[in-house]
Amino acid sequence: MQRTYINEIKKDKEVLLQGWIHDIRELPKAKFLLLRDITGIVQCVLKPENKAFNEKLSLESVIQVKGKIKEAKLTSPELSTNNLEVHISDLEVLNKAEVLPMQVYEKDKSIISDLSTRLDYRSLDLRKKKTQAIFKIQSEISTSFKEFFKKNNFIEIQTPSLISSASEGGTQLFSVNYFEKKAYLAQSPQLYKQLCAISLEKVFTITPVWRAEKHNTIRHLNESRQMDIEVAFKDDFEVMKYLEECVAFIVKNVINNCDKELDVLNLKLKIPKSKYLSYDEAIKLCKLKHGDDFSPEDERKLCEMYPDTIIFTHSWPLSLKPFYILPKDKKLSKGFDALYQGIEISSGGQRVHLPEVLIKQLKECKLNPKDFEFYVNSFRFGSPIHSGWSIGLERFTMALLKLNNIREACLFPRDRERLTP
């Protein structure tokens, strides 16, 4: 008999189900097991005449049951269906679970595991409805990102994770021994996606990045995933439009395809509007002075002024942007940031495409142009203007789902304290 998933069961059918014991209720004349698989939860009835009735069963044990689907009148909010149950004819324990270090089914609300414990036992935590909902939605986010740019005739690229010099300047890099040389884990696909765009024109990637910053905050990770694009013959405002349309497309798909997961998280999403502010306009709203960067509190304030809106702040000071952002004039750049749901979700801009300007800006950032020779030389052979941006996948998931900590949006977070599991 082939396995049936719980969301496929139909009245009067004989089925073989496999999954985990979600809950057990024992009465003298019957045992009621809640069986869970990735598609849902169903009640299974085990009668005393069954040889498995006296078997010691434990929560989260993996079992296989055969039985007939019958009508029922149930009221549990945990169940995927309250009008069907399985009457067990055969039960086999495939793998018995030991005493659990944390609750999966949080029946006792007085014993809720903290985030650190949940991350220590992440494979167990991934069995919780809320955790599964987060990562099902995150899967929809990354799939929709790819779908949007495929529809717009972009080419997916893969950039290296091992690099010879800093992608964005600075020294906060993880170094690795690369045979007789020193190499670094890429902090961004920035340089390489530009090299692709000046020939392939329209490119995107989803890639891991690493930053050796010694922070320990609720919004930063030392390893994360970035969703990046780079486009030739487009300026900063044209790629902001791509970002605006892409985020709206992602949110629309999450609303349409993840309604059950949004219900689990008790969320109602709206397709975001957009607001464009110059840097100078934004700092006035936050009562800052020219040259200041926005603090997390400033970002929250701006988003409160424009709820359910992607806020683009453009025309930033050159001093606050990396060396590869094109100057607008002597003081301002063609760089931008995007805020959404109280947090920065993206940074981007039009890039420098002229070697002499690039060398000048590298020196002004106290970087050695010789370390970037391969990059600079690529623009000597006919480089078009080009622009792009990146969105942190975990950061965007955190913002969209209003999570309290970015680690909730990362399967196996890496920070200063955590290297396992």
Check 147, 347, 414, 418 and give the catalytic one.
347
d(CA 43, CA 98): 22
Q: Identify the DSSP state of 114.
A: P
Check 36, 118, 211, 407 and give the catalytic one.
211
d(CA 420, CA 116): 12
Active site residue 347: yes
Is 199:231 a contact under the CB 8 Å cutoff?
A: no
Check 219, 225, 314, 353 and give the catalytic one.
219
Active site residue 395: yes
Contacts of residue 37, Cβ cutoff 8 Å, sequence gap at least 6: 5, 6, 17, 18, 19, 20
- Is the backbone of residue 52 left (phi > 0), alpha (psi -120 to 50) or beta? alpha
Is 380:359 a contact under the CB 8 Å cutoff?
A: no
Residues 253/258/263/264 CA torsion (nearest 10 deg)? -130
Active site residue 380: no
Active site residue 344: yes
Check 230, 299, 344, 394 and give the catalytic one.
344
d(CA 197, CA 233): 10
Active site residue 3: no
Active site residue 219: yes
d(CA 51, CA 71): 24
With CA atoms as reference, report the closest residue to 20 among 81, 126, 125, 95. 95
Check 122, 220, 300, 414 and give the catalytic one.
220
Catalytic residue numbers, as ranges: 211, 213, 219-220, 344, 347, 395
